Amino acid sequence: MLSTASFVPAGSAALLVALFLAGCAREPSSYAGETAPIAALAEQKARPDPSLEEPCASPVSRPAGAAKLSAGAVERLWSTDRTALRDCKTKHEKTVGFYRSRDATLAGGRP
Count, residues in the chain = 111
Does residue 90 fall inside a structural domain? yes
State how far the Cα of 61 lies from the Cα of 77, in Å rounded to an integer.
8
Does residue 2 fall inside a structural domain? no
Does residue 87 fall inside a structural domain? yes
pLDDT beyond 70 at 79? yes
Does residue 1 fall inside a structural domain? no
Does residue 111 fall inside a structural domain? no
Q: Are 80 and 111 a contacting pair, CB within 8 Å?
A: no
For residue 75, give its domain range: 7-106
Question: pLDDT grade, residue 42 (50/70/90)?
Answer: low
Does residue 79 fall inside a structural domain? yes
Structural domains in the chain (count): 1
Does residue 72 fall inside a structural domain? yes
Q: Which DSSP letter does residue 28 get?
A: T
Long-range contacts of 96-101, Cβ-Cβ distance < 8 Å, separation of 24 or more:
98/48, 98/49, 98/52, 99/48
Tell me which of 32-36, 52-56, 74-78, 102-106 is least confident. 32-36
Query: What would the mean pLDDT of 59-78 be, rounded to a whole number?
Result: 89
State how far the Cα of 86 lies from the Cα of 95, in Å rounded to an integer.
14
pLDDT beyond 70 at 54? yes
